[in-house]
Structure 1
Amino acid sequence: MSEFDFDLFVIGAGSGGVRASRVSAAYGARVAVAEEYRVGGTCVIRGCVPKKLLVYGAHFAEDLHDARRFGWNVPECSFDWPRLRDSVLGEVDRLNGLYTETLDKNKVTIFHERAIIEGPNAVRLASGKVVTAGRILIATGAWPVLPDIEGAEHGITSNEVFHLDKLPRRILIAGGGYIANEFAGIFHEFGSQVTIVNRSDTILRGYDEQLRDRLLQISMGKGIIFRFNAPFERIEKLEDGSLRAHLKGPGDPIDCDQILFAMGRKPHIAGLGLENAGIELNDQGAIKVDEQNRTNVESVYAVGDVTDRIQLTPVAIREGQAFADTVFGNTPRTVDYSCVPSAVFSQPPIASVGLTEAEARNKLGTIKVYSSDFRAMKNVLAGRNERSLYKLVCHGETGQVVGIHMIGPDAPEILQAAAIAVKAGLTKADFDDTVALHPSMAEELVLMK
């Protein structure tokens, strides 16, 4: 018999933790996982899944309007926020059940309570029980950042936004990243007056500059208001229950009914007991790990957003799989972080993989950029002036496609397949040699000159 209660104890049942638990158990390990909230983690419970369902709901606003140009006699429609909210939360409940069922089927012991690290091979549960394990995996994810200002408690984050009692007439969204721009599009389509307030003068840092500019142009054209270089000073709650945001710099305070903080996410390590095992953090407060996901403590590992790597659900899943394969499957493997595709489910969406034009110039020197700036066929008939933009960034000498960047309808769906070509090292000539699928938006990828 082992000297430990379990071979593996996982703290956090999100995407990375569930994958590591399930696969490790399938390899024959005795596995336990502790989750203080709900099985499924940020993505399933309060992140990309419910958010994408809201994005689908938001699309109907424009689709119903455009349908008249396509011959449909659509009556005037109104939006029922509680109905969509409850439908989305119902789907979250269903997925929570499925994730729990998956762990149960793989004979993973689930502790529905908080766990903190007691030492290199021990965790203490909220009930007071101490459990030992040969290895501990930390997969607690990340948590929204709140500004350190007076009145911050009057705002909400992406954790609470899915549970709003009613739709705000005026919403102020703080931040310029993907969460801010996604919810700006969602609430705008639902009929709210949306203002984005950003500390800097740049949205979607890290994405291709032309795509960022295009989204800003389209968003402003739709009526979304942007206020740049405007850090928060304080938030005041007025007698009628509304909020007043006082900002630094020129400009009047902004009155609104709801403030959503989307100012980034930080590793969720508060009160986790890392100091009890001497686990090291980096300057950003993330757990430091090596290629095998191991911390500086031999028996403790970490995967997902709690580390200092890419904060994306598919990356956390890959890391959880690699951990299980390496530690319990006798098939060592690491995760390749190059060419990871990403998307912003804004209105319209952005999708990207590989090097941006600026990154490619800095890294490769000589590059060639091909682009297509067009109106989707559907937008033409609908009378919308909204234009899509596709870009291929290529090595100047070899012609290898090192980056693809897109903004337009269904861009993420198209990019997933196109990302394979970038990962495989295909060239512009390979794209040119591929016959176009007509009529489609995706055909622009093989028609650029």
Structure 2
Amino acid sequence: MSSVQGFDVDLAIIGSGGGAFAAAIRATNLGKSVLMIERSTVGGTCVNTGCVPSKALLAAAEARHVALDASGRFPGIATSAAPVDMPALVAGKRALVEGMRADKYVDLIADYGWDFRQGTAAFAGTPEEPALEISTPGGGRESVTAARYLVATGSAPWVPPVPGLEETGYLTSTTAMELEEVPESLLVVGGGYVALEQAQLFARLGSKVTMLVRSRLASAEEPEVSLALMSVFADEGIRVIRRATLASVDRDTATGRVRVVASVAGGEETFQADQLLMATGRRAVIEGLNLDAVGVKTGDRGEVLVKNTLVSTNPRIWAAGDVTGHREFVYVASAHGTLAVDNAFNNAGREVDYRHLPRVAFTSPAMAAVGLTDQEANGSGVSCECRVLPLEYVPRALVNRDTRGFIKLVAENGTGKILGLTAVGKEAGDLAAAGVYILEAGMTVEQVANLWSPYLTMAEGIKIAAQSYTTDITRLSCCAT
């Protein structure tokens, strides 16, 4: 590989997560020389502190929950579960993370042959002639120029300013997964995907969990999602306090427990727990990058401002993944990385299109959606017609003896074109994936209602939901839908 004349490398990437690796692989395949700089652990959020470790622990917690719950669901099955050996559980999670980090990240650097530097990078030079100053752990310094730069530094947990919070101390989604013992009680602040997953995780491991939520659970999704998850959480002993805003945080000197004073529906209440987990969102990691010096503008939340092509306000500097403030999914970051390289080096002019982006929260039952919600469709001026199918009408859910949840379709009036799908239930993520293909194909409820669908699958529920537009589904044979 050879670099563009006059530069040290073709592409310099700051960060080593999903977006960075996708970009490096694409650029290397195009014959470009690549330098990747990482100041911390290779692999970024997903493999180290996000998707992989959290879902590994969620799977373990679900296994314990099933063991405790199976005898109630399935006659003739007797099960039990002992208290959790948290150090062993965390050690297993770490081993999984280390293995995936090696196989899917570290080893790929050697396989593809790009250069890697362990160190901290900051922009230098001018907007017209940007460069990177790299400081290595051993005290070394290196200056690098590139034809193109990619900022892929991700995001980190963010908490709002609350009196006493910093002094008292708190957990984030990152530090919570390193606990060596299950807290007897836990306060979770937030109602988004991370808060939902972490609350159920620790409840199933044995904590008494209370959630303090500003509006409602999964507030950006259909209201039926919140109602379904509220019911599930209530059954599992998770207390959800809505319309709650933190006023102050301190620690009870007598008990050592965290004490939270919150405004709740206009009044004031005090909550106590052994641990406090703040799951109030994430913010772009841009500290120390010196973006101003090279003319890269950032937004109110610190995100790198990019066009839909992912170029920043400096035409030689691009951004990918969470640092852009776009949807915080690793598959978005990976798509960003590839798209940015194609645009930067091939002038492809491709733009990010989120219309059919699936989104999943790995609660149990899971929540997943794709396309428009009912409110979004009406807000955009589209007259729509919706159907909500309770899972009691889905044969697979009946066989599973778990009918908690629903499938909702949003369709355009007149044409019947499906605009959105939301589901709460087992394998909801797979239902959303099927929804991506339905929306991409522009299919109508009539078409979906008449497609083949294998019996006793959750995906059959999509067909039944489509049939509910024209058929009384209570009068369908369970084996002949």
Q: If the length of structure 1 is used for normalisation, what is the TM-score? A: 0.94
| Contact 2:391 2:404 (8 Å CA) reproduced | yes
**Do the aligned partners of residues 214 and 7 (structure 1) sit closer, same or farther apart at CA in structure 2, a change above 3 Å counting?**
same
State the secondary structure of the residue aligned to 2:64: helix
Any residues of structure 2 matched to 1:118-197 within 5 Å, and which?
Answer: 118-119=124-125, 120=127, 121-127=130-136, 128-153=141-166, 154-197=169-212
Task: Report the alpha carbon displacement of residue 392 of structure 1 after superposing the two structures with TM.
Answer: 1.0
**Do the aligned partners of residues 370 and 382 (structure 1) sit closer, same or farther apart at CA in structure 2, a change above 3 Å counting?**
closer
State the secondary structure of the residue aligned to 1:255: strand
Task: Report the alpha carbon displacement of residue 325 of structure 1 after superposing the two structures with TM.
Answer: 2.2
Which runs of 5 or more structure 1 residues have no equivalent in the other structure? none
Q: Which residue of 2 aligns with 1:229?
A: 243
1:214 paired with 2:217, answer: no
Task: Report the alpha carbon displacement of residue 187 of structure 1 after superposing the two structures with TM.
Answer: 0.8
- Counterparts of 1:18 and 1:311, CA distance in 2: 16
Task: Report the alpha carbon displacement of residue 147 of structure 1 after superposing the two structures with TM.
Answer: 2.3
Any residues of structure 2 matched to 1:102-113 within 5 Å, and which?
Answer: 102-113=108-119
Q: Which range moved further: 347-356 or 359-368? A: 359-368
Task: Report the alpha carbon displacement of residue 296 of structure 1 after superposing the two structures with TM.
Answer: 1.3
Q: Which range moved further: 402-411 or 234-243? A: 234-243
1:27 paired with 2:30, answer: yes
Size of the aligned set, in residue pairs, is 447
- Counterparts of 2:172 and 2:278, CA distance in 1: 5
Identity %: 28
Which of 13, 16, 21 is the aligned partner of 1:18? 21
- Counterparts of 2:81 and 2:414, CA distance in 1: 56
Which of 63, 77, 84 is the aligned partner of 2:82? 77
Q: Which residue of 2 aligns with 1:37?
A: 40
Q: Which residue of 2 aligns with 1:88?
A: 93
Letter in 1 for 2:164: G
Q: Which range moved further: 7-16 or 109-118? A: 109-118
Q: Which residue of 1 aligns with 2:374?
A: 357
Which of 254, 257, 274 is the aligned partner of 1:257? 274
CA deviation string 1:394-437 (max 9, x = no partner): 01011100001100111112321232111211110111111332
**Do the aligned partners of residues 67 and 370 (structure 1) sit closer, same or farther apart at CA in structure 2, a change above 3 Å counting?**
same
Task: Report the alpha carbon displacement of residue 82 of structure 1 after superposing the two structures with TM.
Answer: 1.7
State the secondary structure of the residue aligned to 2:269: coil
Letter in 1 for 2:242: F
State the secondary structure of the residue aligned to 1:394: strand
Task: Report the alpha carbon displacement of residue 30 of structure 1 after superposing the two structures with TM.
Answer: 1.2
Q: Which residue of 1 aligns with 2:412?
A: 395
Task: Report the alpha carbon displacement of residue 245 of structure 1 after superposing the two structures with TM.
Answer: 1.4
Which runs of 5 or more structure 2 residues have no equivalent in the other structure? 469-481
| Contact 2:27 2:341 (8 Å CA) reproduced | yes
| Contact 1:373 1:390 (8 Å CA) reproduced | yes
Looking at both structures, which has the greater relative contact order when contacts are Cα pairs under 8 Å and sequence separation is at least 6?
A: 1
**Do the aligned partners of residues 76 and 167 (structure 1) sit closer, same or farther apart at CA in structure 2, a change above 3 Å counting?**
closer
Letter in 2 for 1:197: L
1:334 paired with 2:351, answer: yes
- Counterparts of 1:75 and 1:15, CA distance in 2: 39
Any residues of structure 2 matched to 1:238-317 within 5 Å, and which?
Answer: 238-239=252-253, 240-249=255-264, 250-317=267-334
CA deviation string 1:196-250 (max 9, x = no partner): 112x222212111111221122212322112223222222123343211122353
Task: Report the alpha carbon displacement of residue 163 of structure 1 after superposing the two structures with TM.
Answer: 0.9
Task: Report the alpha carbon displacement of residue 188 of structure 1 after superposing the two structures with TM.
Answer: 1.0
Task: Report the alpha carbon displacement of residue 297 of structure 1 after superposing the two structures with TM.
Answer: 1.0
Letter in 2 for 1:30: S
1:62 paired with 2:65, answer: yes
Task: Report the alpha carbon displacement of residue 129 of structure 1 after superposing the two structures with TM.
Answer: 2.1
**Do the aligned partners of residues 159 and 75 (structure 1) sit closer, same or farther apart at CA in structure 2, a change above 3 Å counting?**
closer
**Do the aligned partners of residues 277 and 52 (structure 1) sit closer, same or farther apart at CA in structure 2, a change above 3 Å counting?**
same
**Do the aligned partners of residues 149 and 75 (structure 1) sit closer, same or farther apart at CA in structure 2, a change above 3 Å counting?**
closer
Q: Which range moved further: 225-234 or 345-354? A: 225-234
Q: Which residue of 1 aligns with 2:123?
A: 117
Task: Report the alpha carbon displacement of residue 141 of structure 1 after superposing the two structures with TM.
Answer: 1.1
Letter in 1 for 2:118: H
**Do the aligned partners of residues 364 and 147 (structure 1) sit closer, same or farther apart at CA in structure 2, a change above 3 Å counting?**
closer
| Contact 1:349 1:411 (8 Å CA) reproduced | yes
State the secondary structure of the residue aligned to 1:446: helix
Q: Which range moved further: 393-402 or 23-32? A: 23-32
**Do the aligned partners of residues 170 and 421 (structure 1) sit closer, same or farther apart at CA in structure 2, a change above 3 Å counting?**
same
1:3 paired with 2:6, answer: yes
Letter in 2 for 1:436: S
- Counterparts of 1:405 and 1:255, CA distance in 2: 35
**Do the aligned partners of residues 383 and 398 (structure 1) sit closer, same or farther apart at CA in structure 2, a change above 3 Å counting?**
closer
Task: Report the alpha carbon displacement of residue 445 of structure 1 after superposing the two structures with TM.
Answer: 1.1
**Do the aligned partners of residues 148 and 383 (structure 1) sit closer, same or farther apart at CA in structure 2, a change above 3 Å counting?**
same
| Contact 1:11 1:34 (8 Å CA) reproduced | yes
Letter in 2 for 1:102: L
State the secondary structure of the residue aligned to 2:84: coil
